Amino acid sequence: MPTFPGMEGLSTYRLGYVAQSLTLGVSASHTCRLATATPQRLEALIAQNLEELEQLLRFNEAHGIQLFRIGSSLIPFGSHPVNTLPWWKTFAREFASLARIARQSQQRLSLHPSPAGASLSSRHERVRDAALAELRYSARVLDMLEAGPECRVVIHVGGAAPSRPEALEAAHRMLDTMPEELRQRLTIEHDDKVWTAREVLPLAREHGVPMVGDNLHNAVLPSDPPLSVEELVREASATWRALDLRPKFHLASQKVDGRPGAHSDFIVPADFQAMVAALDGPADFMLEAKEKDRAVFALRREAGARRSPRGQGARAP
């Protein structure tokens, strides 16, 4: 399995990007308004998105990118009642072809529904039902792509109403009652507004669900007491390794003059170096940067320059 150059003595990480290649100008996330979501329109959009996903996976393969987050609109309105298409049957051949590409190039795939679409802590049944529908849809996409157990649907805990203890108890109940095959597709992420890493870690541990550690979330919404980068990496890694899975992290940098938690275009080298230095074994970093795949190539060049005076790094277009 190829690895990419990094800090001196360490080449145990992989870098990936979210949903869209700016190099290709392709996103595989075309959708439409609910009012125009006819079966014919949805089928055409699905076909277009799957064609573009093939372009993205082949691009990743050509450039040694083994970590990729698929946009949640791959199947437009995939969890909404308006989409009555048996898309998993209609496009079974296309999914099988995509699965072969991902498998031969060892790409670790994921999805990340918006917090509004899927979270754990709501006390309202309709919100929980909608969240479960979104998680089932996302898990089905990964199943259709024959993705391994390390390929997960990333979710947040959700809000904290009517109180933090009640919301957390609701999250426990939802995980307790969730079908096992669905829970095995999940990973929980702390956030930068409501739930800290130190609060999410026990939830993940209790239910055997790994936690994605996010360096920027940890900085914007610190735990009490604070978790250092080293502690975040160590504790989050343990939730993956308990399941014999390679740890995965989100890596982002604060946008200058942006709201707290806003992602920058590229990753600040110091943020990258701090996360890599904290690793105690192989791991993956999903770059949450506005420049998408270009941010991956830029970080590779930065890592290569640190190791070679001639600045030779991994392949880039």
Task: Give the tens place of pLDDT for each residue, 94-129.
Answer: 999 999 999 999 999 999 998 877 889 999 999 999
The answer to whether residues 304 and 311 touch, using CB atoms and an 8 Å cutoff, is yes
Q: Distance between CA 222 and CA 147 in Å, rounded?
A: 33
The secondary structure of 195-229 as a DSSP string is --HHHHHHHHHHHT--EEEEHHHHHHS--SSPPPH
Number of helices and strands (H, E) in the chain? Answer: 11, 8
Q: Distance between CA 290 and CA 153 in Å, rounded?
A: 21
For 203-225, give one letter per residue: b (16+ CB within 10 A) or e: bbeebebbbbbbbbbbbbbebee
Q: What are phi and psi of 28, to 5 degrees?
A: 55, 35
Give average pLDDT by consecutive 10-residue segment, the chain, 317 residues.
38 91 97 96 98 98 98 96 97 98 98 88 93 96 98 97 96 96 97 97 97 98 97 98 98 97 97 95 97 97 65 42
Cβ-count burial of 101 within 10 angstroms (0-12 exposed, 13-18 middle, 19+ buried)?
middle
Q: Distance between CA 314 and CA 299 in Å, rounded?
A: 10
The helix (run of H) or strand (run of E) holding residue 302 is helix 292-307
Q: Distance between CA 277 and CA 234 in Å, rounded?
A: 11
